[in-house]
Amino acid sequence: MANRNGDDQRVALKERIAGAADALRQSQVWTSIFRPGSPFRHGYSDSPRNRSYVIMNNVLYHLHPVKVKRHGVRLSYTLCLGGLSFFLFILLTITGIFLMFYYRPTSPAAYNDIAALATDVAFGQIVRNMHRWGAHAMVLTVFLHMARVFYHGAYKPPREFNWVIGVVLLLLTLLLSFTGYLLPWDQLALWAVTVGSNMAAYTPVFGAQVSFGLVGGVQITGDTLLRWYVLHVLFLPFIIVVFMAVHFWRVRKDGGISGPL
């Protein structure tokens, strides 16, 4: 008898929870967050209609159409390289923000802050490692992405301009990596950047000005550090995001991923 009573109570509790969940899902707050048709409103059961709704009622709709060409989904077509470049960028943003909490772009504090990541900051070293290796990986994936686009002839009309935007993205990626290279303010950073920016000084006619603007003086100093820091954490990411937005928009407007060979 007591046992049955317990069962009844459990059932009642279950019903009450279900009722509360229903009430929550019908509340104004909930329905204002999730669009009509969102699986979060009605639950998800696998049907072609729901498959479309998942994308349509999701911020992903900004990136993906509801349907894509079958061959575009095959990993062997894009090798997901563009997507990985984008994903690496996101990962670099996240790890980069973490690093910003512990970094001062002044000489010699910058160096000490980086060194302290290994000793004083929880997960500091691994986050720094991920940021560094991720940056190298991104240069690589962007380059490989360009190569795969070339070998597919995917730059041909109507995609010519997206290729040009891609070239700008490649340059911005290199610049982001290069500006970040200076920030640890160690011997590797200083002299690699010295070699790199000396090359820029050979620009015909404006060489001296280019070098001065880049370095923020006649030679690399603590001022260069601040300048490159701002470029690295604000200016270049902002620009690259704008170009990525245009890049992705064009991929869709140009008819999605290019056709199979």
Partner 1 sequence: MAEIPESILRRSAAARAKAEGRPLDEILAEMGLAPEGGSAPAAAPAGEPAAAPVAEAVAPEPAAAAPAAADPGGAALEGFAAMADVGVPESLIERSTRARAKADGIALPGAAPAAPVAAGGGGGAAAAPAAAPVAAIPAGVRTQRLLTVVKANAIQQVKKEPHDKVNTWPHLVAAEFVALMVMTAFLLVFSVFVDAPLLELANFNEQPNPSKAPWYFLGLQELLSYFDPQVAGVIIPGFGIAAIAFIPYIDKNPSVRPNDRKLAIMIFTFFVMASAILTIFGSFFRGPGFNFTYPWADGIFFDF
The contact set with ligand HEM (CB under 6 A) reads 78, 80-83, 85-86, 142, 145-146, 149, 152, 154-155, 159, 162-163, 166-167, 169-170, 173, 244, 247, 251, 257-258
| Contact of 150 with 170, CB cutoff 8 Å | no
**Contact positions with partner 1 (CB under 8 A) in 160-199:** 160-161, 163-164, 167, 171, 174, 177-178, 181, 184-192, 194-196, 198-199
- C-alpha–C-alpha distance, residues 29 and 20, integer Å: 14
Question: Which residue among 17, 24, 97, 147 contacts partner 1 (CB under 8 A)?
Answer: 147
- C-alpha–C-alpha distance, residues 137 and 95, integer Å: 14
User: Closest approach of Cβ 14 to partner 1, in Å?
Assistant: 30
Answer with the entry of ligand HEM, partner 1, none that 49 interacts with (C-beta below 5 to 8 A by kind): none
Question: Which residue among 6, 19, 65, 213 contacts partner 1 (CB under 8 A)?
Answer: 65
- C-alpha–C-alpha distance, residues 86 and 29, integer Å: 33
Can you give the length of the chain in residues?
261
User: Closest approach of Cβ 15 to partner 1, in Å?
Assistant: 32
- Does 80 contact partner 1 by CB under 8 A? yes
Question: Exposed, middle or buried: residue 215 (CB in 10 Å: 0-12, 13-18, 19+)?
Answer: buried
- C-alpha–C-alpha distance, residues 164 and 169, integer Å: 9
Answer with the entry of ligand HEM, partner 1, none that 142 interacts with (C-beta below 5 to 8 A by kind): ligand HEM
SS3 106: coil
User: Closest approach of Cβ 169 to partner 1, in Å?
Assistant: 11
Query: Which residue, 116 or 237, is less far from partner 1 as judged by CB?
Result: 116
- C-alpha–C-alpha distance, residues 229 and 106, integer Å: 10
